[in-house]
Amino acid sequence: MSDKKIIIAIDGYSSSGKSTMARALAAKIGYRYIDSGAMYRAVTLYALNNNMIDAQGNIDTSALISVLPSISIDFRPMPDGTQHTLLNGEDVETEIRQLRVSDNVSPIAAIKEVRAALTAMQRSLGKDKGIVMDGRDIGTTVFPNAELKIFVNASAEMRARRRFLEMSDKGDNVNYEEVLANVVRRDHIDETRAESPLRRADDAIDLDNSYMTHEEQDAWLEQQVNKALHS
């Protein structure tokens, strides 16, 4: 590799495999990996656990905004190379991946103040560079000057199938139609929200991984990193 440290922004649709790919890349090149979606999920879990979201999905936005300064989010590296998300010091990695959180996270991520608070945390995590961050607005808003920006896509059906298999493997009792509906709904909210909508940065490199293996994807990504490091 090279001594030059860069910021690598990997954005894309939900369940496009960007987290797996970002994590593998970070481990390979010795960079820190940050899953920015996990941060939005942690805030959503906090809101759910503190009765700020009712059964119909209505959010008590002003209550949530007022507690934002007291919400701390960290990542704990695990021996197997993964990271667990900590919400106010508590390991919430399992809870934030459940459908209860997935179903409520997009409206939470559309709140301007939530985005401002998390964007500030994300920028401070990247201040020394040497970071791979994945999300929806990393290349457009969080790090518009990132040296390498990747925009990942795959069809909604392909993404829903992957998510369904992942959840079934974990023993979750889910059905495919429900997962597909959740993927389509989240795409729509993420693309149409007023604040930092999911959008490809003009200078991002596209990756459609619908028919790529992990190995092909990792090799492609490494090529892009090498180019960015030597440009």
C-alpha 74, offset from chain centre: 14
106 binds ligand DC (CB under 6 A): yes
204 binds ligand DC (CB under 6 A): no
103 binds ligand DC (CB under 6 A): no
φ and ψ of 84, to 5 deg: -110, 140
Q: Which of 136, 149, 159, 163 binds ligand DC (CB under 6 A)?
A: 136
Contact region with ligand DC (CB under 6 A), list: 57-65, 130-138, 143-151, 159-167: 130-138
End-to-end CA distance of the chain: 13
Q: Which of 10, 21, 22, 105 binds ligand DC (CB under 6 A)?
A: 105
Q: Which of 21, 25, 34, 36 binds ligand DC (CB under 6 A)?
A: 36
20, two tokens:
């797996």
Distances (CA, A) of 210 to 40, 140, 200, 216, 218: 26, 23, 17, 12, 14
Q: Which is nearer to ligand DC, 37 or 126 (CB)?
A: 37
23 binds ligand DC (CB under 6 A): no
Q: Are 95 and 101 in contact (CB under 8 A)?
A: yes
Smallest gap from residue 79 Cβ to ligand DC (A): 23
| Helix, coil or strand: residue 11 | strand
Smallest gap from residue 187 Cβ to ligand DC (A): 9
Distances (CA, A) of 97 to 10, 39, 116, 120: 20, 11, 23, 23
Q: Walk across the sheet containing 83-87 and list its strands.
A: 73-77, 83-87, 90-91
Q: Which of 17, 126, 135, 139 binds ligand DC (CB under 6 A)?
A: 135
Contact region with ligand DC (CB under 6 A), list: 23-31, 37-45, 73-81, 171-179: 37-45
Q: Which of 31, 40, 46, 75 binds ligand DC (CB under 6 A)?
A: 40
Q: Are 133 and 9 in contact (CB under 8 A)?
A: yes
- Which residues of the shown chain bind ligand DC in the complex (CB under 6 A)? 14, 36-37, 40-41, 105-106, 109, 135-138, 186, 190
